[in-house]
């Protein structure tokens, strides 16, 4: 696993918690309830996984 991929993987939890906290604050102070905004968590998770796959080590033999 490449260092960049490890870094992105280690950020997944904090990013998800930040997104959840933001949605809960928006639920408390804003007009949208949490049951209407929870799909944002799926989008954030998908973006994080996509970024991990984009920095994946290329397959193949050694470079010369």
DSSP 1-64: --HHHHHHHHHHHHHHHHHHHHHHHHHHHSSS-HHHHTHHHHHHHHHHHHHHHHTPPPPSS---
Range of the domain at 24: 3-54
pLDDT given for residue 56 in this prediction: 74
Q: Let me know if residue 62 belongs to a domain.
A: no
- Whether 18 is covered by a domain: the verdict is yes
Average pLDDT of the segment spanning 29-40: 91
Give the count of domains, the chain: 1
Residue 63 lies in a domain: no
**Residue 64: inside a domain, yes or no?**
no
For residue 63, is pLDDT > 70?
A: no
Residue 41 included in any domain: yes
- What is the reported pTM? 0.77
């Amino acid at each position: 696993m490449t260092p960049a991929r490890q870094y992105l993987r280690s950020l997944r939890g904090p990013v998800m918690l930040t997104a959840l906290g933001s949605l809960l604050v928006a639920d408390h102070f804003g007009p949208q309830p949490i049951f209407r905004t929870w799909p944002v968590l799926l989008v954030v998770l998908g973006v994080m996984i996509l970024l991990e796959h984009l920095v994946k080590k290329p397959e193949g033999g050694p470079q010369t």
